[in-house]
Copies of this chain bind each other. A is one copy, B any other.
Amino acid sequence: MKNEEMEKLAQAVLERITVPLEASARHVHLTQAQAQTLFGHDLTQERELSQPGQFLARERVRVEGPKGKLENVAVLGPARKAAQIEISLTDGRVLGITPPVRLSGDTKGSPGCTLTGERGSITVTEGVIAAKRHIHLHPDDARRLGVSDCQEVSLQTLTGRSVIFEAVSVRVSENFSTAAHLDFDEANACGFAKGDRGRILL
């Protein structure tokens, strides 16, 4: 085998036994009605995200809490059934809000905040969370890696300053593109750079 072929093979094997890491910046999900209030129209797409069907909207919001605000926060589409504001614990300190660490969709009893767009402002009584680290897996990848939906695993980051994250939630769906999602605190804590990968430890 030529050197070049060997490199390619080694890379292909590595990609079979690891998952891509992605750092999720703070962002907001909105209902269609909330988007109308904030922007006067539905969300419009700026670019597609790695998860199929999800997109980054052109629209941006200001997020305000009792102690401070974050400007120019990304909004993700499509519209959802309830607002969800996903921030890091660092962001929480800026806002004066302590977000619970939760999986997306699990906002019950979480704190609220005020959101402002170019056409209006809304206050939600709950929805602010710090996204619990999780791994999206396509069923093919889940089978190969020996993990199943709702399982908790450890994730070793193959990054600048390697970390093993414990209690990482596995979510398996045909609709997912395989990727482990960290927030910016976690990404910085492990020295994440674009293209880095991680290894699931069972």
Contacts and interface: CB of A to CB of B under 8 A. Distances in A.
Interface of A: 88-90, 101, 132-133, 154, 156, 160-167, 184-186, 188-191
A191 B161 contact: no
B163 A166 contact: yes
Contact of A90 (B163, B166, B184): B184
Could you say which of A89, A160, A191 has the most chain B C-beta atoms within 10 Å of its C-beta?
A: A89
A202 B47 CA distance: 45
Query: Interface majority SS on A: helix, strand, loop or mixed?
Result: mixed
30 contacts: A88-B188, A89-B188, A89-B191, A90-B184, A90-B185, A101-B160, A101-B191, A133-B161, A154-B164, A156-B166, A161-B165, A161-B166, A161-B167, A162-B166, A162-B167, A163-B163, A163-B164, A163-B165, A163-B166, A163-B189, A164-B164, A164-B165, A164-B166, A165-B189, A185-B185, A185-B188, A185-B189, A186-B189, A189-B189, A189-B190
Top 6 A-B pairs ranked by shortest CB distance? A189-B189, A164-B164, A185-B188, A89-B188, A186-B189, A162-B166
A59 B184 CA distance: 30
A169 B190 CA distance: 15
Contacts of A162: 166-167
Given A163-B163, A163-B165, A163-B189, 11 more contacts: A90-B185, A101-B191, A133-B161, A154-B164, A156-B166, A162-B167, A163-B166, A164-B164, A165-B189, A185-B185, A186-B189
Contacts of A132: 161
A184 B90 CA distance: 8
A188 B165 CA distance: 13
Nearest to A185: B188
Contacts of A189: 163, 165, 185-186, 188-190
Contacts of A185: 90, 185, 188-189
